[in-house]
Amino acid sequence: MVIYKIQSDIKTIEKNSALYEETNFNSRVEAIDYLEFNIIDRIEGLLQTINPPEKLITLKQDAERVKRQLEDIDNTLFQRLRADIRDGGCTGTALRGRIDEYVGHDGGGGQRHDEIGYDSLDVFINGLLLSQAVPLETKAREPEMVAYQQTPARIIFELVEQAHLRREDVFYDVGSGLGQVPILVHLLTGVAAKGIEFEPVYCDYARACAADLNLSGVEFINTDARTADYSDGTVFFMYTPFAGSILQDVLEKLRRESQKRRIRLFTYGPCTPQVSRQSWLKCLDQNEDHLYKLGIFTSL
Ligand SMILES: C[S@@+](CC[C@H](N)C(=O)[O-])C[C@H]1O[C@@H](n2cnc3c(N)ncnc32)[C@H](O)[C@@H]1O
């Protein structure tokens, strides 16, 4: 009975011609997830039992083959999009249009905007920008430093929408990880974007991604955020790279910058309440107590 159900699920997915149409990206994400977690993982579980039916091995190979066929469609799509970006033919609204064409306006996942969670938009952005294997960390973090976790892509899009960046702005992602925030902000707006990252292999990864896309307006600096030079920065983003005294030290550096020019700071995650307590910053939205909504602050 179980074998019959698995077999029929694989067949249903394989015979669904809509999944092979390139623009049906969200349906493909669901089908690939289903194959991975409801079929392949399930078969692997069954193979651990006593005397598993031999047929399961063929079914696992079938499921892996169908999954690969669907992934190949996405890989071809991402390679073409990367080539278009490299040639300078797909940035700003053109890129936004291409992403909407595949994922739709709501990210395809119907995620609630006040909780962390990833959706098809993240799968798309990861396919586009994070195509290489993620390297292992090489440096020991201090206890207040936060490990790499990526900002949900819908938050980066919201930031771009809310920030109304001007050509003369310089955007900083403080604690930039694998680099997708500065790269995406630069691609969507054209402004100069920089990432400050403590972990050298993450910085190398981000630089390689920017170089692969021929982007000269994005820079990644491998340093501790406490010692970075922010003298040209006007718009900053932090997805809680650190907490406590490190956060306070970096905010103090930004406060000093704000005495020379107005700066804006966008936050996401548990750092937002500490940022909202800074007397030199004013919150421009209602999200100063929301951990998983975009916090928007301007210097006074
Ligand atoms: C929560 S992740 C955010 C990553 C990135 N902003 C993104 O959304 O993809 C925090 C990042 O901050 C980095 N980080 C932690 N402490 C740091 C420090 N003192 N200076 C610079 N980067 C730091 C971590 O290595 C990690 O990549």
Q: Domain spans of the chain?
A: 2-86, 120-299
The pLDDT value recorded for residue 115 is: 64
The pLDDT value recorded for residue 89 is: 83
Q: What angle do CA 163, 131, 57 make, to 5 degrees?
A: 135
Q: What is the separation, in whole angstroms, between the first and last Cα of the chain?
A: 67
Pocket test for ligand 1, best of 146, 181, 183 (most atoms within 8 A of CB): 146
Pocket test for ligand 1, best of 138, 178, 242 (most atoms within 8 A of CB): 242
Ligand 1 contact, 120 CB (< 6 A) = no
The rounded average pLDDT for each run of 10 residues, N- to C-terminus, in the chain (300 residues) is 91 97 96 96 91 88 98 96 93 94 72 73 96 95 97 96 96 98 98 98 98 96 98 98 98 98 97 95 82 93
> What's the CA gap between 112 and 295, in Å, rounded?
16
Query: Domain 120-299 carries which CATH code?
Result: 3.40.50.150
The pLDDT value recorded for residue 108 is: 55
Ligand 1 contact, 197 CB (< 6 A) = yes
The pLDDT value recorded for residue 36 is: 96
Decide: residue 108, CB within 10 A, 0-12 exposed, 13-18 middle, 19+ buried: buried
The pLDDT value recorded for residue 286 is: 76
The pLDDT value recorded for residue 222 is: 98
Strand partners, 221: 196
- This prediction's pTM: 0.93
The pLDDT value recorded for residue 298 is: 97
In sequence order, what DSSP letters do the residues of 148-211 get, joined into one string? P-PPPHHHHHHHHHHH---TT-EEEEES-TTSHHHHHHHHHH--EEEEEES-HHHHHHHHHHHH
| CB distance 213 to 86 below 8 Å | yes
Question: Which ligand 1 atom is the nearest neighbour of the CA of 173?
Answer: 6
Instruction: Report the candidate in 201, 191, 204, 205 with the shortest Cα–Cα distance to residue 237.
Output: 191
| CB distance 268 to 241 below 8 Å | no
